[in-house]
Copies of this chain bind each other. A is one copy, B any other.
């Protein structure tokens, strides 16, 4: 079951509603662009690759449901819809990347009329989704080489099938190692405030039969310092051209603890998450979400803070490249200096091109 799929009848974008997990596995069928944008904003779908695929299908939905009779009219609608989807969340690089790919595919067919544009847009969205699964499998294969049998790893946030179209990035690495027969134990950062670790990663690991224990985000340093941990594995929402990593809030402190304890810190990241237009992490927009996520208890809505208390809620932080041991991509494991390794890795065909 994919996290994000196209549903021809409707038509609709079908999503697993990640807000309801682990209590309930339910899906949403979204029939308007605004519904897709709202699902991204409210984190019914989250994880940079999953957001990218959802936005791509959202744009395909705009094409399929448009009544425009001309290429020009359809193109205006697609651009307007892409603009609305682009604003839904600011940090994940895959959102803009996927929308640009879908728009580009449509534009090339404008001379052939609106039916051809609609078909091209939908086909490109589907291609993005299918490629994401291949990308994750490749990341998993490269990354699993870094994990030895019996390794305990710390994982932050959720980077599994739910954060992607299927399989996962950092969690895909763990999954591949597990499928190779290695015994991997995962310390799952709960990941405040939205508890993606406790709610989503724990649920996925349970489905996969991979042993794990949940810890508070602040406890990661304790376990690293005790020498129990072989590696730290995270994903990314956007990587700058110098290798600085924007990822779920708390990642920077986790990377510092890994370095202090001489434990490798790996960032599993599809090439689509790398934004080479940005010179460093300082240029990555950091979303600040509503204070209620901190002040109230997830799911229950119960207040935990005194009435009137205020909160700050940055959803991401930036981990400087100097703290990253390696970036695990579908083109191989990139070691510092990042820009040079990336350039080398991008030469030649992707690893699944012949498959």
Contact = CB atoms under 8 A, between A and B. Distances in A.
Interface stretch (A110-118, A219-227, A264-272): A219-227
Given A22-B306, A192-B190, A253-B220, A297 B298 contact: yes
Interface string A218-262: 111111010000000000000000000000111111101100100
A305 interface: yes
- Residue of A187, A254, A312 most packed against chain B (CB within 10 A): A312
Contacts of A192: 190, 192, 216-218
A294 B295 CA distance: 17
Chain A interface residue bracket vs B: 35 or more
A286 B39 CA distance: 43
Contacts of A286: 222
Given A192-B218, A297-B298, A213 B310 contact: yes
A44 interface: no
Contact of A225 (B187, B213, B252): B252
Contact of A222 (B206, B249, B294, B305): B249
A343 to B, nearest CB: 28
Contacts of A318: 222, 225
Contacts of A191: 218
A203 interface: yes
A199 B312 contact: no
A193 interface: yes
A202 interface: yes
A222 to B, nearest CB: 4
Contacts of A195: 304
A349 B257 CA distance: 40
Contacts of A251: 218
Interface in A148-199: 187, 190-193, 195, 198-199
26 contacts: A22-B305, A192-B192, A198-B304, A198-B305, A199-B306, A202-B309, A203-B306, A212-B310, A213-B310, A214-B294, A214-B295, A214-B305, A214-B309, A214-B312, A215-B294, A218-B251, A218-B253, A218-B317, A219-B249, A219-B317, A220-B253, A222-B249, A222-B252, A253-B257, A256-B256, A299-B304
Listed from nearest, the 10 A-B pairs whose CB atoms lie closest are A218-B250, A22-B306, A222-B317, A221-B253, A192-B216, A221-B252, A214-B311, A256-B256, A253-B253, A217-B218
Interface of A: 22, 187, 190-193, 195, 198-199, 202-203, 206, 212-223, 225, 248-254, 256-257, 260, 286, 294-295, 297-300, 302, 304-306, 308-314, 317-318
Given A216-B249, A219-B249, A253-B254, 5 more contacts: A195-B304, A222-B249, A253-B257, A256-B256, A297-B300
